[in-house]
Amino acid sequence: MTAENPSEAQIAVHWREEDYYQPPATFIAQANAADPAIFDRFAEERFPECFKEYADLLDWDAYWHTTLDTSNPPFWKWFVGGRLNASYNCVDRHLAKDRNKAALIWVPEPESEDPQAVTYQELYKRVNEFAALLRDFCGLKTGDRVTFHLPMVPELPVSMLACARLGVIHSEVFGGFSGTACGDRVADSGSHILVTMDGYYRNGELVDHKSKADEAVEAAAKLGVEVEKVLVWRRRRGQYASKAAMIEGRDFFVDEVMGDYRGSLVEPVSMPAEAPLFLMYTSGTTARPKGCQHSTGGYLAYVTGTSKYYQDIHPEDTYWCMADIGWITGHSYIVYGPLSLGTTSVVYEGVPTYPDPGRPWRIAERLGVTIFHTAPTAIRMLRKLGPDEPLRYNYRFKHMTTVGEPIEPDVWRWYHDVVGKGQAVIVDTWWQTENGGFLGSTLPAVHPMKPGSCGPGVLGVYPVIYDEDRNVVEAGSGKAGNICIRNPWPGIFQTIWGQPERFVELYYAKYCADTDSKDWHDWPYLAGDGATLGADGYFRILGRIDDVINVAGHRLGTKELESAALTVEEIAEAAAVPVMDELRGRAVEMYIALKPGIAASKDIEDKVVAAIDSRIGKIARPKNVWTVADMPKTRSGKIMRRVIASISNFADVGDITTLANPEIVDDIRHRVQREKSVRGEVPRELTSQEREEIEAYGQTD
């Protein structure tokens, strides 16, 4: 962040205070954590030993001798000396009591296909067989990395748990990402095995997915990493859903190879608590994605504990998180947390509005879902398309979650009143890929809910808001600043895979008081979000401070978008900016300037869209591409993203007198806003908070 520009942290935010909602008595009566004495158990003076309570929810092969080792800050180590296996904890240990209880219920997208229950016994068998295949057919061993590019099918948790059984590090790439994006991540992680599926159903279509694996292998090869084997699960037994050829000697159908491993059992490898369990890539300030490395013991303890107290999961619940397992939410709160607690976790293949916006509520009714978990984007979409649909179905949620983006208070109220029928408690959970599990949330049976605020820090997590000068922004001051976590917690990622310097620089350097200190108090974790803190101790998350655009809950780095656009030969400069979007929260608009002598054309704009589709994926597709004669720039040549962001959002462009080319601003504004008006894309007036976000946009250069 530059010193001369005001950052989001210095901008005062005024937001109307919302009324509180109390948790229903029926919820409190059955909750895992209903006694406020729990806050004493997790009080700061009990840190770090308080987290023994979470670790004790797991089965350990050997207990740890040191709860938190801070000898090499900020590379914290949790439960040092402890040994365990994550697959054992999520599967084997439930067999004695719950062998034939559903671990997973998979709901295929086509309604003509019935839901399929995978019992803990069946999961145990499948995990063992696939682990045997990975070990003996692929030659994988503890510490190796494997990339998955799998959709929402039971084979994904099976593959994850099979790796965990062997101590092999899995790295799942969201199925909606392009083959090239997958290949970049294959190369970064140094995976030589890629696990994929031939196809899957999405919005009524059987998508050809295997073809992306071919692109991924090619992209990884260009980066110097050779994929030796591609394992292809098949969506429909005996059929092949892809047009892409199977490459002899490289590509294998899992169901064919599996013949040799039927009935195999693989002893779970007893792993040190500190061994990496998986990588999850996310976006940030630069074009290179960051592979967040999560630990085995700390991570599993953290997601298990937060699933118990914040998701209020009981073994008898039917729990449905509608996120994609390709994101951290799915890893922590579809697979590892719920299965560790031995509950039934629902996995839905398709889109929430297929074939109509009643689908999620039909699924909830049919399966008897008691806990429901989704993101504001899905809630906004379901409200728009079927505002009264939930009332037509006879289900009853006791608990609901919102995650991933700020939720507008009126969207929250629809979720509460209509989806939850006024009977369910809601948690608005704030956290990130880097964090393993929740950071901010109300404790559902104890704290009242406040629409639009996540609540206080969760048990054992102590957030603080700092301004640019490391002064604490006081509760109730109405000022925004950078939210940080003062202490380490077991779910925190261990490092960025292969880039430890970047880990320190991005998350700790800004507010570290003393880089020689071994005391964790000197190393606050910078989350990368702007936030305010109410007088009631509830945080309101405002959004990213690092040029990440949150589209429908997906974190897209502007630099990634821009470098994708710059692969189009005719383009000299590209800038990605956020526009307010009624359904997806934010959408991306791309501005491009062409090389000298090249005439603007629809063809070039289409190439930009195609480049983003192919390098990142359709989720990142820009809403509009605008070709401009020149970008508004400072005298030192920096593109003023806030100016074009203001234009795209019909906001005031602010002071442009310091630009090298202020005359360009009016040209761009007339052209873009005229066309948007013709297309009916004039946004509603921005709230003061949104205006401030746009004004602060692009300040991190």
Nearer to ligand WTA, 125 or 288 (CB): 288
Site for ligand WTA in 233-292 (CB under 6 A): 282
Nearer to ligand WTA, 240 or 511 (CB): 511
Nearer to ligand WTA, 48 or 326 (CB): 326
Q: Could you tell me the smallest distance in angstroms from the CB atom of residue 33 to ligand WTA? A: 19
From candidates 157, 406, 463, 632, binder to ligand WTA by CB under 6 A: 406
Told to check if 544 binds ligand WTA by CB under 6 A, we report yes
481 DSSP β-pair partners: 531
* Strand ranges (E), 595-641: 624-628
Told to check if 334 binds ligand WTA by CB under 6 A, we report no
DSSP conformation class of 521: G
Q: Could you tell me the smallest distance in angstroms from the CB atom of residue 346 to ligand WTA? A: 19
- 45-53, 135-143, 188-196, 426-434 -> range binding ligand WTA (CB under 6 A): 426-434
Nearer to ligand WTA, 344 or 532 (CB): 532
Cα angle 110-116-121, degrees, rounded to a multiple of 5: 160
- 21-29, 74-82, 401-409, 691-699 -> range binding ligand WTA (CB under 6 A): 401-409
Q: Which residue is nearest to ligand WTA (CB)?
A: 433
From candidates 98, 274, 428, 695, binder to ligand WTA by CB under 6 A: 428
DSSP conformation class of 142: T
Nearer to ligand WTA, 465 or 631 (CB): 465
Told to check if 293 binds ligand WTA by CB under 6 A, we report no
Q: Could you tell me the smallest distance in angstroms from the CB atom of residue 649 to ligand WTA? A: 18
Contact between 90 and 303 under an 8 Å Cβ cutoff? The reply is no
Nearer to ligand WTA, 15 or 137 (CB): 15
Q: Could you tell me the smallest distance in angstroms from the CB atom of residue 330 to ligand WTA? A: 10
Binding mask 431-450 for ligand WTA (x = CB under 6 A): xxx-----------------
Told to check if 543 binds ligand WTA by CB under 6 A, we report yes
Sheet holding 539-544, edge to edge: 463-466, 481-485, 525-533, 539-544
Told to check if 129 binds ligand WTA by CB under 6 A, we report no
Q: Could you tell me the smallest distance in angstroms from the CB atom of residue 428 to ligand WTA? A: 5
Q: Could you tell me the smallest distance in angstroms from the CB atom of residue 195 to ligand WTA? A: 22
DSSP conformation class of 92: G
Tokens of 23: 């948790």
Told to check if 529 binds ligand WTA by CB under 6 A, we report yes
Contact between 411 and 436 under an 8 Å Cβ cutoff? The reply is no
Residue 644, burial from CB neighbour count under 10 angstroms (0-12, 13-18, 19+): buried
- The residue to which tokens 């029926």 are assigned: 26
From candidates 149, 165, 359, 555, binder to ligand WTA by CB under 6 A: 555
Told to check if 329 binds ligand WTA by CB under 6 A, we report yes
Tokens of 422: 């006024």
Distance (Å, whole) CA 187 – CA 189 = 5
The letter for the amino acid at 354 is Y
From candidates 78, 177, 327, 507, binder to ligand WTA by CB under 6 A: 327
Q: How many residues bind ligand WTA (CB under 6 A)?
A: 22
- 14-22, 118-126, 191-199, 539-547 -> range binding ligand WTA (CB under 6 A): 539-547
Nearer to ligand WTA, 529 or 560 (CB): 529
How many CA atoms, within 13 angstroms, populate the side-chain half-sphere of residue 358?
Answer: 11
Nearer to ligand WTA, 89 or 282 (CB): 282
Residue 18, Cβ neighbours under 10 Å: how many? 17
Q: Could you tell me the smallest distance in angstroms from the CB atom of residue 441 to ligand WTA? A: 8
CA distances from 196 to 172, 193, 230, 605, 641 (A): 10, 10, 7, 32, 38
Q: Could you tell me the smallest distance in angstroms from the CB atom of residue 224 to ligand WTA? A: 28
Helix (H) or strand (E) holding 530: strand 525-533
* Residue 273 dihedral angles phi and psi, to the nearest 5°: -55, -35
From candidates 230, 379, 403, 552, binder to ligand WTA by CB under 6 A: 403
DSSP output for 17-76: PPPPBPPPHHHHHH-S---THHHHHT-GGGTTGGGHHHHTTS--SB--SEEEE-SSTTS-
Q: Give, rounded to a whole angstrom, the gap between the first and last alpha carbons of the chain.
A: 6
Told to check if 405 binds ligand WTA by CB under 6 A, we report yes
Told to check if 373 binds ligand WTA by CB under 6 A, we report no
- 234-242, 383-391, 492-500, 543-551 -> range binding ligand WTA (CB under 6 A): 543-551
DSSP conformation class of 509: G
Ramachandran bin of 362, using left for φ above 0, alpha for ψ from -120 to 50, beta for the remaining angles: alpha
Told to check if 700 binds ligand WTA by CB under 6 A, we report no
DSSP output for 365-419: HHHT--EEEE-HHHHHHHHHH-TTGGGGS----SEEEEESS---HHHHHHIIIII
Tokens of 632: 């508004």
Interface contacts to ligand WTA, rule CB under 6 A: 282, 327-329, 403-406, 428-433, 454, 528-529, 541, 543-544, 550, 555
